[in-house]
Structure 1
Amino acid sequence: MDFGWTLEQQRRHDEILEAARSALGPEPATTSTEFRKKWREIGDLGLLGACLPVEHGGAGSSALDTARSYEALGEACADTGVVFAASAHLFACAVPIAEFGSAAITSRWLPGMCGGDHIAGNAMTETGAGSDVARLATTATPVDGGYLLNGEKSFVSNGPVADVFVTYATTDPEAGHLGQTAFVVAAEAPGVRVGEPFEKMGLRSTPASTVTFTDCLVPGDAVLGREGMGATIFQHSMGWERACLFAGYVGMMARLVDRVTQHARRRKQFGSSIGRFQAVSHRVVEMHMRLETARLLLYRACWEMDQGRPARLEVALSKLAASEGALASAMDAVRIFGAQGFLADAGIEAELRNAVPSVLFSGTSEIQRELAARELGL
């Protein structure tokens, strides 16, 4: 068992750390112009197509190397919203297009998605279908030349700025999960309407909105895989998302450990640095333990994926450890920083707000525990 990195892997990690710190900065993107600028920088780092085939413009990295790269991005870039946006673009949209898209679809979209010219949004969630994704109200009706899409997606990350959507619709209401089909739809297609950006607690630099399809004609070659494969395709992309997207949160946890450690050394109370007080030092140790637990589970899950194994248990545990750990550690950071942590200027309260949704998207923590329980035979 080797816990070390090759010289090339370490070089790449350090390169991303340095470049992201320099180019992305600590302030969140507040305008579409700022978002696009950061998006281009992430594309220039090769991260928007990290795990995609080289022939499509990607880097061809393994799941483990991809996770390591996004961990570095999450550590270096305090704008967790843009890290999340890039992750959702790659793992929920680009990965299924690369794996299941036709030659026409992959050649049209993937080079731009890898380079930063195109932004993708994953249009799955509906008002009545969050965790229960087998009950999609959005329908796709076969017609001459393709399908007519009708329905509304209630929460689409990157929706307001997306050039393309990966969406899922019911093609056979009687077939349950075998009646779902995946589609690639251009944002400019007739019948696509994007709602106003949501005001959100956290991840504020990730633009999100509703997306409505009204008699939207989708050509037959825009189907991913084939009709009825939607649930399989979605679960495949979720494997990547639940593992590698949360590498960004592992990076965030590393950044928090570093910040609270420095603060605990500098901050003086009762004639001593607060890091000398057991109540503080033990809290920092707990934060570091959560970081290392999440990191090791993440690497194990990605290693299993690279071996071609299902890794369902490992991915569920990894997602659970990273999301719950990020939330608990962000709360600890607020407590260690005290009143300063409550103020916006320090940026600590933003870390907490950005951590909260991690236990909700890509399957809630309760769903991850249920998935793990099933894999354990319960």
Structure 2
Amino acid sequence: MAGFRAWAAKSPDGGTAWRDASRQGLTSLALPEEHGGAGLGYETACLALEALAEETGRSGLPFSLAAQMWACQEPIAAFGTSEQRARYLTPLLVGDAVGAFAATEYDAGSDLLSLKTTAAPAADGSWLLNGTKTFVTNGPMADVFVVLARTGEGSTLASLTAFLVPRGTTGFTVGKRIDKAALDGAELCSLELTDCRVPGEARLAGTGDGVAVLMHAMRYERAFILAPTIGLMARALKEGVQHARMREQFGRPLSSYDAIRQRVVRMHVSLTSARELLHATARAADAGTLDHQRSSLTKLHVSTEFNRFCTELPDLYGGYSVLAETGALRLVADAVASRYYSGTSDMQTKIIAEGLGL
């Protein structure tokens, strides 16, 4: 698994944080035992991601792990053959490999059904993939990519196919790391596919089943990709309360002023509301009743409350919010980003509205 090894050799901690999280079982918590998972369910997995984010205070690692868990592992477990699961899923679960989901394109954005990457069948049963992908989370160090490509004309619902493409495949180029202002520690990049040849058995599910793979991945990613933000908010609230107690102005602690107390309470309400809905959604997934409307509702609500929380946070610190040690502005950037990945807030609203019959 050259991608993860090469990245780990250059990372500050040698990739130990990723390996430790995986080998302690985080990435396997939600998957059933028959697929090599712990079978402990989605609520347990969300709690673990929250705890990791709260402990570290950083968004990048838990976000990257979550992206692999929901958009790469879930589709392989659900649609993969026994051979595909043995080759790819098992190494992902134990921290020996990293996975990525490659769907977004420059001109498609949230409209994933408009993607232009193509896959054409060859006489020998292989497929030739051509196109570009962008904003591929984990791309710089991933060993296997779930790639969506158009394999037919007409209705998009029957013309997309998912492929498992290992790093190093001829014609498959991993682009440079994308610089960004949020999700510190997460690695994103673009991909180029130029006559990238993969065997017929690289298809994940059948030809034309790509929408089913995509919808499965999005159902879990949209529901749970923001689980780490609950831990980030919890840590920020705890540190904010401590600051309000210790910092004095005009001879009184900040915590004695109603304006500050009200601000902290509003932050607490946002955290509690986001946490309660997320956990209820996880329980629905554990019960087998998670649908797309519920996933979008969770993504929209948690990102909205995260942004409300971060509207209050800088004013709690005042001018000190610009100091890196408070983490306030870093969290604001993470909150803004949460409105856009895994489908924008407008996209989630559209899905919810359609579910309501509008």
Give the match for residue 132 of structure 1. 111
Equivalent AA in structure 2 for residue 107 of structure 1: A
Post-superposition offset of 1:347: 2.2
Give the match for residue 208 of structure 1. 188
Give the match for residue 66 of structure 1. 45
Matched-pair identity in %:
38
- Indicate which of 143, 146, 149 corresponds to 2:129: 149
- Separation (CA, whole Å) in 2 of partners of 1:42 and 1:314: 28
TM-score by length of structure 1 reads 0.89
- Indicate which of 4, 19, 23 corresponds to 1:40: 19
Aligned residue runs from structure 1 range 88-167, under 5 A: 88-143=67-122, 144-167=124-147
Aligned residue runs from structure 1 range 346-357, under 5 A: 346-357=326-337
Deviations, residues 163-187 of structure 1 (Å, cap 9, x unaligned): 1111100011312232111111101
Aligned residue runs from structure 1 range 303-314, under 5 A: 303-314=283-294
8 Å Cα contact 1:139/1:150 also seen in 2: yes
Equivalent AA in structure 2 for residue 124 of structure 1: A
- Separation (CA, whole Å) in 2 of partners of 1:341 and 1:30: 34
Equivalent AA in structure 2 for residue 252 of structure 1: L
- Indicate which of 46, 70, 82 corresponds to 2:61: 82
Equivalent AA in structure 2 for residue 137 of structure 1: K
Give the match for residue 244 of structure 1. 224
Give the match for residue 179 of structure 1. 159
- Separation (CA, whole Å) in 2 of partners of 1:322 and 1:31: 34
SS of the residue corresponding to residue 145 of structure 1 reads coil
Equivalent AA in structure 2 for residue 305 of structure 1: A
User: Aligned pair count?
Assistant: 350
Give the match for residue 324 of structure 2. 344
Equivalent AA in structure 1 for residue 142 of structure 2: A
Note if 1:195 corresponds to 2:169: no
* 135-144 or 326-335, larger mean C-alpha shift: 326-335
- Indicate which of 277, 280, 293 corresponds to 1:297: 277
* 236-245 or 149-158, larger mean C-alpha shift: 236-245
Give the match for residue 3 of structure 2. none
Equivalent AA in structure 1 for residue 17 of structure 2: K
Post-superposition offset of 1:70: 1.6
The list of structure 1 runs, each at least 4 consecutive aligned residues, that deviate by more than 3 angstroms after superposition, is none
- CA gap of 1:30–1:155, structure 2 versus 1, over 3 A, is farther
- Separation (CA, whole Å) in 2 of partners of 1:31 and 1:76: 24
Equivalent AA in structure 2 for residue 59 of structure 1: A
8 Å Cα contact 2:68/2:101 also seen in 1: yes
- Separation (CA, whole Å) in 1 of partners of 2:188 and 2:14: 13
- Separation (CA, whole Å) in 2 of partners of 1:30 and 1:83: 20
Deviations, residues 218-271 of structure 1 (Å, cap 9, x unaligned): 111221111111111111111111122211111211112111111111111111
Give the match for residue 257 of structure 1. 237
Equivalent AA in structure 2 for residue 50 of structure 1: L
- Separation (CA, whole Å) in 1 of partners of 2:328 and 2:101: 29
8 Å Cα contact 1:300/1:314 also seen in 2: no
- CA gap of 1:238–1:320, structure 2 versus 1, over 3 A, is same
Post-superposition offset of 1:97: 0.6
8 Å Cα contact 1:298/1:315 also seen in 2: no
SS of the residue corresponding to residue 28 of structure 2 reads coil
8 Å Cα contact 1:182/1:230 also seen in 2: yes
Structure 1 gaps, min length 5: 1-28
